[in-house]
Amino acid sequence: MSAKVESQVSLKPYNSFGIDAEALHFAQARSDDDVRQLLAYAASEDLPVLVIGGGSNLLLTRDVTALVLRMNSSGIRVLSDDGERVVVEAEAGEPWHPFVQWTLEHGLAGLENLSLIPGTVGAAPMQNIGAYGVEIKDVFAGLTALDRQTGDLHEFSLEECEFAYRDSHFKRNPGRWIILRVRFALSRVGALHLDYGPVRQRLADQGITQPTARDVSEAICSIRAEKLPDPATLGNAGSFFKNPVVSAELAQCIRDQHPGVVAYPQADGRVKLAAGWLIEQAGWKGYRDGDAGVHRMQALVLVNYGQATGEQVHELAQKIQGDVLERFGVELEMEPNLY
Ligand code: EPU
């Protein structure tokens, strides 16, 4: 077997929360063959398998009594180019932001609003990553996944992925599929998405009136850097909760009492509320208990100041959920996967 299986490995460097949980066994897969061989090895040893990418959407609340298989494959290639529309394929282990940079350096628009999101290409479809008005479903052109039940490869179309807000077929069927590579339809003449939040304003402040995709990427990097902690210096998993979608009646009831509530009407008549606003109003922004806390600048982000355990972060999350439910009647759903 070409991939090396190690035992009793700390997962601290492999999860963006920086939680010091231990993997019973750990291996990195650099190819499809590595993945198949490691799955066969785990089956022969009767070991469960936990597949991870960048570990940026994961909260480890205990040691992992399994083989942790980290996707570490690399490769980016152009599959087709008609002069305007360019389909690019990237291996699952490619880190997301450098991949976005690669597309921009090649003059391709489409992923610029998703700049600086931590994690890997293979993890991106899991929760249909999104930011500043764009989700990967908007530029998705297909993916190849290994079916762990049959061992076969399957090519997924957009429809089959069942993408929704921070959700997908893969998230709803945990453990079934291993995403091996993902394809994106990008554009040399792409229309830019500038209407979400402060993007247009940030560009105007910089005196940019005819922005390129690279300008948009740089503006978004600067906006994110102001509000979101860098996992390299402060452990976190980005937004810890999804923005809840509630009935129009409940949204109105909250608005009556709190006219400042941040709310986005949805096509189906329901209303998406800014969870960060609810959590801040409930008084949790900047809260710290030991090394687990709520970020000072963005209440939607839970942080590990150093030695927090996953259980402590989870306990804090549950307290916030209980308090927001009591105050606003709104249930907050966690975004990261809990192990
Ligand atoms: N807000 C507060 N207090 C806070 C945080 C936010 O009042 O502490 C208010 C803001 O003032 C704003 C509104 O809530 O009016 C929305 O805030 P923001 O634009 O920062 O976005 P968000 O809804 O908190 C979502 C995504 C982010 C993504 C941004 C930008 C979710 C769960 N999160 O955050 O995604 O970067 O929009 O598009 O949908 C992630 O998923 O890890 C992530 C960072």
Q: Whose CA is nearest to atom 9 of ligand 1?
A: 277
Within 13 Å, how many C-alpha atoms sit on residue 161's CB side? 27
In this prediction, residue 130 carries a pLDDT of: 97
Give the position, in ligand 1's atom list, of the atom nearest the Cα of 196.
38
Is there a catalytic annotation at residue 166? yes
How far apart are the C-alpha atoms of 328 and 299, rounded to whole Å? 16
Rounded to an integer, what distance in angstroms lies between the CA atom of residue 149 and that of residue 181? 19
Q: Which of 326, 288, 283, 279 is nearest to 306 (CA)?
A: 288
CA nearest ligand 1 atom 23, residue: 274
Report CA(21)–ligand 1 centroid distance (Å).
29
Range of the domain at 135: 76-187
Ligand 1 pocket, 298 CB below 6 A? yes
121 lines ligand 1 (CB under 6 A): no
Q: Is the minimum distance from the CB of 276 to ligand 1 under 6 angstroms?
A: yes
Determine the residue type at 55: G
Residue 162 falls inside a structural domain: yes
Can you say whether residue 310 is alpha, beta or left, with left for phi > 0 and alpha for psi between -120 and 50 degrees?
alpha
178 and 273 both lie in a single domain: no
Query: How does strand 22-29 pair with strand 64-71?
Result: parallel
- The 10s digit of each residue's pLDDT in 213-257 is 999 999 999 999 999 999 999 999 999 999 999 999 999 999 999
The amino acid present at 240, given as its one-letter code, is F
291 is a domain residue:
yes
User: How many domains would you assign to the chain?
Assistant: 3
Is residue 320 in a domain? yes
Q: What pLDDT does residue 197 have?
A: 85
166, 181, 183, 202: which one is catalytic? Answer: 166
Q: What is the pLDDT of residue 233?
A: 95
Read off the tokens for 8: 């009793």
300 in contact with ligand 1, CB cutoff 6 A: yes
pLDDT value of position 1: 77
| Test site for ligand 1: of 300, 302, 324, 333, most ligand atoms within 8 A of the Cβ | 300
| Residue 205 located in a structural domain | no
The last residue of one of the domains, among 22, 51, 71, is: 71
**Are 256 and 331 in a shared domain?**
yes
pLDDT reported for residue 74: 98
Consecutive 10-residue averages of pLDDT for the chain (339 residues): 93 98 98 97 97 97 98 98 96 98 98 97 97 97 97 97 97 96 94 92 94 97 95 96 97 96 95 98 98 97 98 98 98 96
Q: Cα of 197 to ligand 1 centre, how many Å?
A: 10
What strands, in cross-sheet order, belong to the sheet with 301-304?
235-239, 301-304, 292-294, 288-289
**Residue at a domain's end among 26, 48, 71:** 71
The Cα–Cα gap between 5 and 68 comes to 9
C-beta 284 within 6 A of ligand 1: no
Quote the pLDDT of residue 254.
97
239 assigned to active site: yes
Q: Single out the residue in 155, 187, 219 at which a domain terminates.
A: 187
Cα of 146 to ligand 1 centre, how many Å? 33
Cα 117 to ligand 1 centroid, rounded to whole Å: 13
Question: Does one domain contain both 43 and 90?
Answer: no
Residue 262 Cβ contacting ligand 1 at under 6 Å: yes
Instruction: Indicate which residue's Cα is closest to atom 19 of ligand 1.
Output: 197
